Structure 1
Amino acid sequence: MPSGELNDAALAAIKEKIGQDTIEQNFNISSQDFQILATIRYDPHFTHVFEPDGNDSVEYDHCLSQLDPQLTSLMDSSSFLQSDDSGSLGNGLLDYLDSSSVNSSPISEGFEFNASSAIQRDPVFQSLYGTNYSHTQQGEATVDDVDIWSIYYDRFFLLGEHYKRLKLALAFFQWKLALTPRMLLTQLIHSLPIQESLSIEDKMKALLSASTPYKMRVLVNKDGTMKIEAHELPQFLTTCPSTHEYLVQNLLSGYLDHAPTWDVYINPEPIVVSPFTTFKTTKRDHYNKARENMEVLKLSVQDPRPKSEVLVYNDLYQLMEGSITNVAVKSKPTENSNAFRYTTPYLSSGCLCGVTRYFLLRKGLLQEDSIDVRDLSVGDEILLFNGIIGCVKGVIRNSVDFSNT
């Protein structure tokens, strides 16, 4: 396949998922004014950086950095920096669109989630269940002894999946931007705030021991130009001895035994499935309207939590997602079972093909199924997740009279 092209089957799969008839009837894409969007978490805590003791004026060339090999393997960083726009990428893009490829991965259709089963076997969670990864290294190393590009790749959460989705959106909307993995990573690093004007290599060394996380907002225009904004994120309060435990305790905290931290509301009206639900763009009128509805619903709830999300569904009453998150519903496989499972809607519902959704499916922490929003009740636990906040717990706070819809 020629460089820079995706095969017809990949785009046909997308159109089938979101319903070509719906698109043609409701949207004239060529006349729409929008940007393709990606929001990526930059977090230095995904890598460990150590400074020599007793020296306040550290030369950055002598900072020590270590990557957690378990975390690196989980992020699938191998080959990302060496990949280009060749045909080999197209098969990977089809993999996550094709639900059969998801079911043939390590995900079990009968997945039951409890601390003694899948969670204990997965290296992401081993630090919580007595198989701690010892993050040590003999001797000293300098920045030159490790690949600094790999360090920065690992600091951008699920960067490889973000890249794939950007490429898919560009191909679907037929926008001309020859985006390569190295180009995306370079532009992200260039966009990290720093006072000095430095070369890319010097900037990476200067920021190596900085700990501030950022929400990177990637905006691609129809003319092929790209803009990246960096918005500072609050630091997590939980400190961890290893990078993969940091991921579990903070970005996968929704799976841990904590009380729900978000209120979840059900939108009182359906939304129309479109390319602007499947792909992340700046055309968000449907989500903004749902969030306006949420603000009204919050007025009738006692003791609302500080953070809230609203669930949206299509005209077949199929749950899709939240306005800013993908979602999964917690349930027990049987009434008397102590185990539980999290089920996320199929892509065919019209939901966003989110990077964290795919990550959790690939790790066997979610299963896919069609979810009827009319089956949801007040008090049901919902897992909310995206590439910035990771996974958090929510609980449904309202009911909807669907007889009027």
Structure 2
Amino acid sequence: MAPERGERVAIVGAGLAGCLLAVLLGRRGIEVTVYERRPDPRIAGAERGRSINLAISARGLAALEQVGLRDRSLKQALPMHGRMVHPLGKEQNFQPYSADGERAINSISRAQLNESLLDTAEATPGVTLRFAQRVTGVDVQAGALLMEDGGTEHADVVLAGDGAYSAVRRSLGLNEDADFLEHGYKELTVPPRGGDFALDPDALHIWPRGTSMMIALPNLDRSFTCTLFWPKSDLAALDTPEKITAYFAEHYPDVAGLIPDLVDDYERNPVGSLVTVRCRPWTRRGDGAIVALLGDAAHAIVPFFGQGANCAFEDCIEIDRCLTETGGDWARALALYEERRKPNTDAIAEMALDNFIEMRDRVSSPVYRAKQAATHALERRLAGRYVSRYELVSFSTMPYARIPARIRRQNLALAGAASAVLAGLAVLLRLALRQRR
């Protein structure tokens, strides 16, 4: 489908990815209408208990730079230079993210970032935002968005960023797999204490408890947003105020007293689900329209590498790049977008699942801490040649799919060098023994 005068482009979902993509398309001179099922969050406010602070890192910042929002976003964020681990019954310990201790991921409110993107989209010529407009599906033959009220809206190109439970994706009958963890999540709040942060604001705090964990990210108002990642059966078991307070006193004793609204937050905030969505194809073409999925609608991942938003932003940048490379031919551009992005999103999905195990279990182990110290020492000694997985994911824009192979090559080279050193030592030892004889 080549670009035509009067072609109608629709984006479903005014979340982070939908807004960023709208700005990128608007700046290309493309008229785009964004449909959002919720009322305008700048007026109605964010949904209670479902904010989950974002950890914006190199990929997300590179994308925000493209629309002039990098500096504004960093002013709304707090840098976190490492993890503060809170083992049960032991002293907390700080684990820097980078070998030099200088690099940080950035804690930012999802709602604040979404508002910034909405403001930018609204100010972009050619972009129209339509709130409280629920899209229930797409008819690709008729070129129509199907609306909840029974009506339709014409669209030649539909870009669906309507989340992990995408109505557009379901309507297309694509081959999809949704893998739910047995864990759910629930948010709590640690308010400021004496007008200051109750915990160290330079860290992402983790309370690893084997099969479950709690994390806390700092906010500009000096509060912390805590998120419990527990088996849903455990979340449901705390069904009285007494059980809630007793459990936290036993399992999170160093923070329980810092949450004055613990019972209220726990009882009122909803339990969210954690899902990995794998889908193929991401595009569907009919006589009337071409449809493509992006962000969580195409590849929802669990949040344990802090890459959900960063990854979705990369989707938007890739669509924009592919439009440039194909001269604005939507069909070719979207096919190229899927070809390039699918291997990368599959890779980060697996790394995010692995990082869940690391965060809830491994980080409190002395063996893990020794391994991390050794890794950082190698990074300092072999700067640029040996780089940890965390650095490549969070502090570079290397395609996710290339990272596992890079790590394997590094480890093989390191093993080879170690073997050569040991072989050399063995030769020297044999020579020394002969001389002694």
TM-score, scaled relative to structure 1: 0.25
**Bigger relative CO (Cα 8 Å, ≥ 6 apart):** 1
Write 1 or 2 for the structure with the bigger share of helix.
2
**What TM-score comes out, normalization by structure 2 length?**
0.24
